[in-house]
Amino acid sequence: MKIGNRSIGPNEPPLVIAEIGINHGGDLAVAKNMVDLIASSGCECVKHQTHIIEDEMTEEAKSIFPPNANKSIWDVMKECSLRLDEEKELKKYAEKLGLIWISTPFSRKAVDFLDDIDVPAFKIGSGEADNLPLINHIAKKGKPIIMSTGMQSIQSLKKSVEILENSGVEYALLECTNLYPSPPEIVSLKGIEELKGAFPKALVGFSDHSIGPEIALASIALGACIVERHFTDTRYRTGPDISCSMDPAELRLMIDRSVEIHKALKNPKQRTTPEEDVYKFARASVVADKDMAAGHIITEKDIWVRRPGSGEIPGYKYNDVIGKKLRLEVKKNHQLKWSNFH
C-alpha cells in the first residue's frame, strides 16, 4: 500500500497517524499549531475530520447526545468543524511542512470535497464501517482507503470489505474500540490477528482510544502496519476526544518506540555478533573440579562448569568429557582442553 510517497506494509516502519479530528474546536489557528507540533514530533501523517453537517445528519441528531459530550452530536460537530475553505488551507499548510494530510468524510459531499482537493487517501471511521453506500462512493474515487472497524464483527465487515476488494483500491483495516477513552477490559489486541486471518488481502493496523501509548505500541508487536491515535497540543483543552489524545511528548515517544519495535520484530532468534564478547564471560567452560593425575579417567564427579566462557570446552560439551583419559596432570579449576585427553 502506498499513500503519497510513503510505502506501508510489514516490511516498512509502521505509519503513525496523529488525528487532530475536532480537537481544535473549530479554530483554524489552533489546528495549525497542532499541525506544527505534529511535524516537529517527527510524525509523517496528520488526519482531520470533514463534517458538512447538513449532508451528514438529519434533524434527529439534535436530540442525540454522545456519551462523551454534554451536548447533541449535531451541536458538537457544528461547533468543532472547520469551514471548507479553512480545511483546504489546513491541508496546504500541513503538506508545506512535509506531512501527509488525510481526512475522514462523513457524507457524500465531504467525500467529493476531499477528492476535489486531491487527498492522497481516505479514512473511513468505525461509525461508517457498515455504511455500504458511503463506502461504495468513496471506493469509486480509486484512492487508498484506511477503514477502522470498531463496533463491528468479522461477519459484519464482510460486505464492506467486498466493496473495497471489488473496487481494486489498496486498503487497510484498523482494529478499534469506540469508547472515549477505552479501558483495556474492552480493547481487543486479538482483533489484529482475527482481521489478518479473515481478510488476508488487507493491511492491518490499530486505531487506539485508550489512555497512554502502551496498547498502541503493543499492537505494533503484533504486526500493526498503521497506528492511529488522537492528538492535542495540550490535555487542558476540552472536547470529547481530549481524554484519549496524545500530547507532543507522547507522540514523540510513539514515533521512536514504534521504529524500535519494528526493527526488533524482524530479527531471528540467534546470537548476534555484538553479543560475542558478552558470551565469552557469560557462559561457562568445563573445568577440573579437583586435582587429577595423568591417566585418570574422567567421571561426572571430576569436572564442573564455571565462568568465564573463555575455555576451549564450553559447558554444553560437559557430557562429552566424561569417560576421557587425561594425558597429563591437571589442577582444580583448570580450564580443560581437548588436547588434555588421549
Q: Is 293 helix (H, G, I), strand (E, B) or coil?
A: coil
Calpha distance 190→196 (Å, rounded): 10
> 156-200, pLDDT tens digit by residue?
999 999 999 999 999 999 999 999 999 999 999 999 999 999 999
SS3 call for 333: coil
**Position 59, amino acid:** E
Q: Give the model confidence (pLDDT) of 79-99 as tens digits.
A: 999 999 999 999 999 999 999
Confidence of residue 280 (pLDDT cuts 50, 70, 90): confident
Q: Is the pTM of this model over 0.85?
A: yes
Q: Which domains does the chain have, with CATH numbers?
A: 10-265 (3.20.20.70), 273-340 (3.90.1210.10)
Contact 192, 204 (CB under 8 A): yes
Taking the CA atoms of the chain, what radius of gyration do you get in angstroms? 29
Question: pLDDT for 239-257, tens place per residue?
Answer: 889 999 999 999 999 999 9
Q: Is the pLDDT of residue 225 over 90?
A: yes
Cross-strand partners of 49: 104
Q: What count of Cα atoms within 13 Å lies in the side-chain half-sphere of residue 222? A: 22
**pLDDT tens across 12-30, in order?**
999 999 999 999 999 999 9
As to burial, measured by CB atoms within 10 angstroms (0-12 exposed, 13-18 middle, 19+ buried), residue 34 is buried
* pLDDT over 90 percentage in the chain: 97
- pLDDT value of position 325: 98
Please tell me the distance from the alpha carbon of residue 173 to that of residue 194, in angstroms, as a whole number: 11
